[in-house]
Structures are given as C-alpha cells and as structure tokens.
C-alpha cells in the first residue's frame, strides 16, 4: 500500500515520525505485540477458531460498532439459525432480524442478508468480494481476506489505531489529529513478514489492553467517533419496533411509550427498507 503524508511545518508533526522509525524500533514493537498475544490473547473467540469466509463475514459485520462480549452469544445464535450463506440467503428478512434482535444497528442485518443473496448469485464469497456487496466496505472486505484467506493486507480499526498512536505518535502535538493515511506506512512496515491473520488478531487484542491503560489513544484519530448513549436513543426505539414486528406483535403500545420519537423511528425504519405498511399495518419488509 502507498500513502502520502502532508507536512504542516511542525517539527514534531506526525509526518516526522515516519522518517524516524528504525528497523530496530519496528522489531521491538513486534516483540511487544507478540508477547502480549502469547500471554493474554483472546484465543478462544469463536470467530478465531474458523477460516470459513462466511463465518468471518458474519463476525465482521456484527463487530461493527458493537463490543465483543455482546457479539459472542449472538454470533453463535445467528450461525445456528443460518449455518451457511445459502441458508441465510433463503431466509426472510423477518427471520434474520428476529435473530439479529439485541445487537442494534439492524441495517447491518439487512445488508448481511442482501449480501448473502448476492454471494449465492455469484457463486462464492471470494469472487463476490471483488465487486460491491451491500454493507461491506473496504475494511470489512479486507478483514475477510485477512482472517479467512490469510492474504497480506493492512487493517486499521479502533483498537489497532490505539496501538500505533500510542507507540509511534505519542510525541506528536496533542492537538494534532492523526489520520489513517499517516498510520498506514508504519502499519505496513510492521506487518511485513508477519502472518496476516495472527498479526492482526494480536494487534487488536493488544489495542484493547492499551485503551484500558492509556484512556484510549485512538481518540486522537480523525477516524474516532464516540458512540452515543443507547438508553432512550432512537436506536433503542427502532430496535423495539423491529423486535415487536418480527415477533408478530402490535406496535401501538410503543407509540404511547415513546411518543413523538416513535413516529421518527418508524419513518426511519421505512426509509431504510426495514419495514413496510400493508393494509394499514406495519410489517417487516420481505
């Protein structure tokens, strides 16, 4: 991968870091990451026990904006209901959302369902990754290639950002936001010669550790977004509406509970293609 870095005139700007990283420093960094992985890595995570690209894709979509502990049981439940990409493609959206319920961001479930249909149409996941898939962006596409096929690539997500910012950008002016394009050359250099699958798993786990120790260095990244509070949020109301509809229940009681935000939630769900109105009643879309 290539990356261009624009200097802003500060001697301790992030671009300066790139010119000061020695091979010895990279080797020392790798040693720290591998040591943590060996002693404290989350080796028992269920998606780390498979190289099935479908199962990897499910885990990656579920892990978007959702913490690992919440994903583990839902991942197992989802794969029990839809063990193959073919079974997911055959299922109805209502079936999918019923199992997805509790994870939030239900559009992810809808996109995963649509992606499964496209994968089945094409024939296999690897070939499907070469074209557009609903809800599968550049990071998810690269993550499936790394974790399912062990192809060399460089992944940058919140935990990995924390690692690189802590180790290589701690001297940069605190007010300076670090961009992924600045991290990329360091990450590329560090990944050289490492097993792609295990290296990125190790980086993620080490990043979780770093965030606990150092108040999440990734907050200095331009890619950092703070998740809004769930309780009382529009996300919570949308989830309640979908859960009720997927279970065949009426949603009239939800209107009195959530008042004005109920209509906003229903309108948003309809706009996203998750629900439709038929004969005066709402139902989960087909």
Which residues have a catalytic role annotated?
60
With both helix axes pointing from N to C terminus, report the angle between 68-81 and 93-100 in degrees, rounded to the nearest 10: 140
Q: Are 235 and 105 in contact (CB under 8 A)?
A: yes
Residue 156 near residue 163, CB atoms below 8 Å: no
Longest Cα–Cα distance in the chain: 69
CB atoms within 10 A of CB 133: 22
* 8 Å CB contact between 162 and 218: yes
Cβ proximity of 147 and 125 under 8 Å? no
Distance of CA 265 to the CA centre of its chain: 24
SS3 283: strand
Note the helical H segments in 41-179.
53-63, 68-81, 85-90, 93-100, 107-122, 125-128, 138-149, 158-168
3-state helix, strand, coil in the chain (%, to 5): 60, 5, 35
Coil vs helix vs strand at 206: helix
Minimal CA–CA distance to 230: which of 66, 98, 110, 69?
A: 66
């Amino acid at each position: 991968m290539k990356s261009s870095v624009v200097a802003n005139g500060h001697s301790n700007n992030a671009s300066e870091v790139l010119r000061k990283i020695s091979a010895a420093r990279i080797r020392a960094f790798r040693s720290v990451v591998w040591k943590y992985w060996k002693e404290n890595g989350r080796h028992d995570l269920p998606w780390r026990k498979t190289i099935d690209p479908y199962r990897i894709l499910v885990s990656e979509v579920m892990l978007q904006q959702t913490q690992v502990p919440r994903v583990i049981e839902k991942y197992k439940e989802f794969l029990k209901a839809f063990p193959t990409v073919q079974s997911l493609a055959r299922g109805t959206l209502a079936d999918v959302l019923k199992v997805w319920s509790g994870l939030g961001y239900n559009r992810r479930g809808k996109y995963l369902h649509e992606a499964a249909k496209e994968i089945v149409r094409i024939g296999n996941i690897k070939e499907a990754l070469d074209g557009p898939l609903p809800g599968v962006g550049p990071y998810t596409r690269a993550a499936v290639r790394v974790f399912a096929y062990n192809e060399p690539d460089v992944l940058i997500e919140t935990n990995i950002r924390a690692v690189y910012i802590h180790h290589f950008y701690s001297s940069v002016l605190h007010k300076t936001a670090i961009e992924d394009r600045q991290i990329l050359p360091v990450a590329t250099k560090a990944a050289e010669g490492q097993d792609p699958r295990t290296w990125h798993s190790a980086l993620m786990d080490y990043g979780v550790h770093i965030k606990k120790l150092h108040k999440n260095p990734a907050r200095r990244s331009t890619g950092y977004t703070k998740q809004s509070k769930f309780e009382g949020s529009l996300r919570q109301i949308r989830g309640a509406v979908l859960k009720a509809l997927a279970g065949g229940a009426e949603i009239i009681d939800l209107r009195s509970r959530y008042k004005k935000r109920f209509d906003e939630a229903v309108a948003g769900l309809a706009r996203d293609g998750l629900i439709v109105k038929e004969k005066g009643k709402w139902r989960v879309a087909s």
